[in-house]
Structure 1
């Protein structure tokens, strides 16, 4: 897979899948292939791998016990073939067992060609190598070279047998003669030679050579002179035997090297089959199934489960890529949003690796060239990055890579920073990803983002169900519905007084513009009373402005201008975010715009409403060449396109003609500095402007 990085594999738990498959493999090669398993991007190849894994899984489900060779010792043999290394009896025992197992596997799979044709073809490509196997079996048995391995070896071993019989008779005679002076009635070996354990004080009674003595010095080990000749003869025969055995092993090694290609082919094929059946066994264990594969970003799954959670997980029904390509999942914390995200990501990685996935029959999944994730807080102790910084770094990387063949998974959008700023930034990033054609699934608990999804073509909402009676998440995903945080239900259930809950609801439901106007009224009043440089007549004008502002009738503002959540009107909701003429309060006004004078540009001091942020603010900078308007919202200057703004109250209605807007747009401290700068130069005096976003 293009650009699949370690962070993605780790975040989604893919390494656990690799380990689980490796545990089902029997051979070193099968385990290696499992550990090296990687997602692919060729849809045709992926479908082939899924089909063959399904075929193997069917055999496993029917109780078949496939005789996969263990490949014990073959790793060393494959590595040393052709290097001049002389293989040992143990090596050839392993090779013979491997060749016998290959023949058994080939015969078994030949009988399964009807029900498992693809898997059987692997075995049919293997080589029998009967001549090599029979020669090894003729020469070596139970890890020892057989006498009949060569005529010379038969001759040598016969002479050794005669020599050993003569030595035995001679030893029996010596033991009988020296029994009284022997420390123990046992014949010993020292340096491969036969000796008698004689008490030290009687050592002169036995003719021969002292080869050793005990630690206490009470016993000496003597090789009797009568055995010396026989021992020398046996040593020579043993040397001849060793030379002949080396010759036999050399001949077998040369024969094995002539089959190097066939041995390597069989070993590779066994490793592939072992890996294939390891995937099949894992699929059966987690009830995995094959899916249809496409390259068009379409996903449709029923009863999908996270493979590492097993039956404890509530299955998910999930779809994307048909009428929408971006899905926003909302709901309470611990409600399963992140699990849903990780389930989709991990199942996609598994499918693209040729693995069956735990879903119901008839599933369809898309193949992506890259899967980009931003899951978890991503904090780095080494780099001392904050949660928000880590999110932004991830998102910058994702935005650079995003294209129509990218699956983007984002957990908790807008987290880690000021909600207003985070929401705006998140929506802008979602728009950019949508423009790139990427498939996006994101979780959030911010209402503004779900309102945006409801009103925007190509986006859809989903929610994780929650039982308000038991305060327990149900972990069921409902696509097409926006979720809630259930803060009121949880607070009430935990004992919060009902009157506080009701008051909270009334505050939250109060029209935005009425609250905002009261804020402006209060702010202006504070500025008038604290501005020492304003003349008396100005105070009168400002007071009149405040009086005018406080009596503006605007109770219908949200009814006429807030975005609807009707899924059938998503396109029109976006189009409704255009400019309206001063004082306009109804859709009919905007409908008749084409027959009237052009809409006037927003002016500094106008009070405007940004529906997608559900916030109101004051125009601080007029339109630039890109149609961007500077808007001061909650002390922050934002750049917002004019099409996203509605005129709420014009500056003419809010302020008298000669009103100094710096009172509203600048802090008291900055205004003092500006007045001081007009009179004289002050070293080091600076005016600090609010950050522009």
Structure 2
């Protein structure tokens, strides 16, 4: 059992199911096992380190991709290296070399990209790049895992001898094959292999005519398999050399095993990094899958501020079905640390409660969570849950008995650093008596200073939540017109259970509903109706507020766009004036230069030169002043240039491209004046606005 959250509580929140999904992204069994035993932590430094590593890894998907290690684990190899006189097989050396290469690639990568991924780089900062292990293996084995002939002089000589003897054996066999084939002593198959030796296939009636050793016969006994006499000495020598080769290979691998044993501590570190990085990448890939982010952690401030949060398991399930998941805004702080959620059944109360618990558990376990930027939370020392029907047949406990036992545990261990989550608070007994007990327990939990979320249908719990300073009500909204839940959490008012409306939706006969209404105290019905009315009014106000906010944002964007375009026009005008002035200066200079050329007649050379030198001096003096003017103009253009740099933030969002044709009525992006397309050439169109024509990029035109 975890000191922060029990195994049962983890199952209540379905954290075990979520861990299984994360484990599916692991490439090693050890990392997957670690993920399946993942639990929340309270050590701030450790938690921040783990979360930042996952965040950096997620960012690498869009930046410079972190190279995969591309190797399996070497746990078996490490165990064998601990045993005396054990020799590793060639394949096991290949696994060791593969892991060494992968880890060294990672070391080099983080050395080069430490600025991009500073926290991840710390995970392997204790390792230094070294190709020694790879070099040892590559000296002995080729890329296919075969021992190289160059591994030893003896092996090289043996293989040369093997090659020579094979040729001799081949030659002698071919001679015998040709001779007996021509004599008609061979079967149609001519030859075969028996125990690794080439043999002639000879019909039984001719076997005494062949000189050699019978190695076997066919199942029917009609064919004898004979090794030619002339090949026997060569084959015997081959067998002897092959044994010598195996003995030398064993000796070489034994020596390599001893050489690698020296590096066991390094290999153990490599194995650890392999699993550790696999653990991080699995969390990162899952976090990306659920669009998880790292909210602001405030260790010294216990609170929860989850903006537009989603239950990850529900979101994944709904995404498969192509169903929208409604995000929620949920906040707990020292002013309002307990939230009581009420509302109709199947309206989303339990999911909202579970979302809080699961996201906090995920985050404290080092996983990013699906919330919006701007979200934040603290670190809880304990998470307690009472969710679902947990009858215990073994201990003969009913649901209510189980929940009472749970409540006793809550009252015993809850403190200021506890986050408690209670679903359907007080149910399972007589409503009046159970409600009274629930009320007292609620007050006791409140006095501990703990934080929590409770779901309930009990009116007395809603009332006390409204009376207690650090508690508040919330409700799941319901559409009375469609008799459908909206799955939206609204904080500030308690919710109606909409008992009869939900019954009507589930096709309970109207006469039964009417009879049920008549049996309820009128005051109770009036209270329920008032709550429902308040919900509708609040929903209407919220919708109007959102609509007004949307209009304000739109007006703000329009104003910013107008300012940008005004600055843009001013910028273009100043640039045009500047260019025009430069052109005029060039024209005047050219005219004067032409005057000197025209005045030159070959006779007044001295006068022309004198006047030309004078002209150059004047122009030189004039050219010193424009530098001051340019500086002045530059200062004038500076704010406009700065505005242009921010254009990406100010420009309106791109709209979907529409096909534009001649004759279409259009508006230019950001404008409102309608014009008609009168010509299209390539990617530009000529648009007529009254008597005014202009050209524009097709992508900036939209049908009016």
Task: Find the counterpart in structure 1 of residue 369 from structure 2.
Answer: 357
Task: Find the counterpart in structure 2 of residue 203 from structure 1.
Answer: 207
Task: Find the counterpart in structure 2 of residue 455 from structure 1.
Answer: 467
1:199 CA displacement: 1.2
Q: Secondary structure at the match of 1:145?
A: coil
Alignment of 1:139 onto 2:140: yes
Rate the CA distance shift 1:260–1:398 in 2: closer, same or farther, 3 A.
same
Task: Find the counterpart in structure 1 of residue 156 from structure 2.
Answer: 154
Q: Secondary structure at the match of 2:453?
A: strand
Task: Find the counterpart in structure 2 of residue 507 from structure 1.
Answer: 522
1:398 CA displacement: 2.4
Task: Find the counterpart in structure 1 of residue 114 from structure 2.
Answer: 113
CA distance in 2, matches of 1:307, 1:511: 38
Q: Secondary structure at the match of 2:61?
A: helix
Alignment of 1:429 onto 2:438: no
1:387-434 C-alpha deviation (Å, 9 max, x unpaired): 212212222222222222222111101211110111011112112222
Task: Find the counterpart in structure 1 of residue 82 from structure 2.
Answer: 82
CA distance in 2, matches of 1:499, 1:398: 41
Task: Find the counterpart in structure 2 of residue 227 from structure 1.
Answer: 231
1:165 CA displacement: 0.4
Q: Superposition pairs for residues 287-306 of structure 1, below 5 Å? A: 287-291=291-295, 292-294=297-299, 296-306=301-311
Task: Find the counterpart in structure 2 of residue 332 from structure 1.
Answer: 344
- Unaligned 5+ runs, structure 2: 528-533, 535-704
Using the size of structure 1 for normalisation, the TM-score is: 0.70
Q: Give the conservation status (yes or no) of the 8 Å contact 2:383–2:418.
A: yes
Q: Secondary structure at the match of 1:309?
A: helix
CA distance in 1, matches of 2:420, 2:218: 79
Alignment of 1:65 onto 2:65: yes
CA distance in 1, matches of 2:190, 2:386: 77
Using the size of structure 2 for normalisation, the TM-score is: 0.69
Task: Find the counterpart in structure 2 of residue 45 from structure 1.
Answer: 46
CA distance in 2, matches of 1:65, 1:77: 30
CA distance in 2, matches of 1:181, 1:3: 86
Rate the CA distance shift 1:86–1:340 in 2: closer, same or farther, 3 A.
same
Task: Find the counterpart in structure 2 of residue 212 from structure 1.
Answer: 216
Q: Secondary structure at the match of 1:234?
A: helix
Q: Give the conservation status (yes or no) of the 8 Å contact 1:289–1:361.
A: yes
Higher alpha-carbon deviation: 267-276 or 338-347: 267-276
CA distance in 2, matches of 1:160, 1:510: 101
CA distance in 1, matches of 2:326, 2:239: 76
Q: Secondary structure at the match of 1:210?
A: strand
CA distance in 2, matches of 1:511, 1:373: 34
1:16 CA displacement: 2.2
Q: Give the conservation status (yes or no) of the 8 Å contact 2:73–2:271.
A: no
Rate the CA distance shift 1:77–1:502 in 2: closer, same or farther, 3 A.
closer
- Unaligned 5+ runs, structure 1: 513-564, 566-693
CA distance in 1, matches of 2:359, 2:437: 29
Q: Give the conservation status (yes or no) of the 8 Å contact 1:331–1:463.
A: yes
1:140 CA displacement: 0.7
Alignment of 1:446 onto 2:458: yes
Q: Superposition pairs for residues 161-310 of structure 1, below 5 Å? A: 161-179=163-181, 180-291=184-295, 292-294=297-299, 296-310=301-315
1:314 CA displacement: 1.0
- Higher fraction of helix: 2
Q: Give the conservation status (yes or no) of the 8 Å contact 2:49–2:119.
A: no
1:505 CA displacement: 6.7
Q: Superposition pairs for residues 641-680 of structure 1, below 5 Å? A: none
For 2:510, which of 493, 496, 500 is the aligned residue? 496
Cα RMSD after superposing both structures: 2.4
Q: Give the conservation status (yes or no) of the 8 Å contact 1:43–1:293.
A: no
1:2 CA displacement: 1.0
Task: Find the counterpart in structure 2 of residue 419 from structure 1.
Answer: 431
Q: Give the conservation status (yes or no) of the 8 Å contact 1:47–1:293.
A: no
Rate the CA distance shift 1:511–1:204 in 2: closer, same or farther, 3 A.
closer
Higher alpha-carbon deviation: 339-348 or 47-56: 47-56
CA distance in 2, matches of 1:73, 1:106: 18
CA distance in 2, matches of 1:10, 1:24: 21
1:463 CA displacement: 0.9
Q: Secondary structure at the match of 1:181?
A: coil
1:19 CA displacement: 1.9
CA distance in 1, matches of 2:390, 2:409: 14
Q: Give the conservation status (yes or no) of the 8 Å contact 2:310–2:325.
A: yes
Q: Give the conservation status (yes or no) of the 8 Å contact 1:303–1:315.
A: yes
Task: Find the counterpart in structure 2 of residue 320 from structure 1.
Answer: 332
Number of residues paired by the alignment?
Answer: 512
Task: Find the counterpart in structure 1 of residue 98 from structure 2.
Answer: 97
Task: Find the counterpart in structure 2 of residue 15 from structure 1.
Answer: 16
Q: Give the conservation status (yes or no) of the 8 Å contact 1:60–1:284.
A: no
CA distance in 2, matches of 1:499, 1:235: 99
CA distance in 1, matches of 2:152, 2:261: 20
Q: Secondary structure at the match of 1:351?
A: helix
Q: Give the conservation status (yes or no) of the 8 Å contact 1:445–1:485.
A: yes
Rate the CA distance shift 1:243–1:508 in 2: closer, same or farther, 3 A.
same
CA distance in 2, matches of 1:364, 1:276: 22
Rate the CA distance shift 1:511–1:290 in 2: closer, same or farther, 3 A.
closer
1:52 CA displacement: 2.1
CA distance in 2, matches of 1:133, 1:48: 32
Rate the CA distance shift 1:110–1:297 in 2: closer, same or farther, 3 A.
same
1:384 CA displacement: 4.4
Higher alpha-carbon deviation: 50-59 or 157-166: 50-59
CA distance in 2, matches of 1:185, 1:174: 15
1:45-85 C-alpha deviation (Å, 9 max, x unpaired): 212222222122111233x4322213325232223222233
CA distance in 1, matches of 2:215, 2:243: 21
1:260 CA displacement: 0.8
Rate the CA distance shift 1:499–1:122 in 2: closer, same or farther, 3 A.
closer
1:3 CA displacement: 5.0
CA distance in 1, matches of 2:151, 2:307: 65
Higher alpha-carbon deviation: 298-307 or 103-112: 103-112
1:329 CA displacement: 0.9
CA distance in 1, matches of 2:391, 2:434: 18
1:490 CA displacement: 4.2
Task: Find the counterpart in structure 2 of residue 550 from structure 1.
Answer: none
Q: Give the conservation status (yes or no) of the 8 Å contact 2:44–2:299.
A: yes
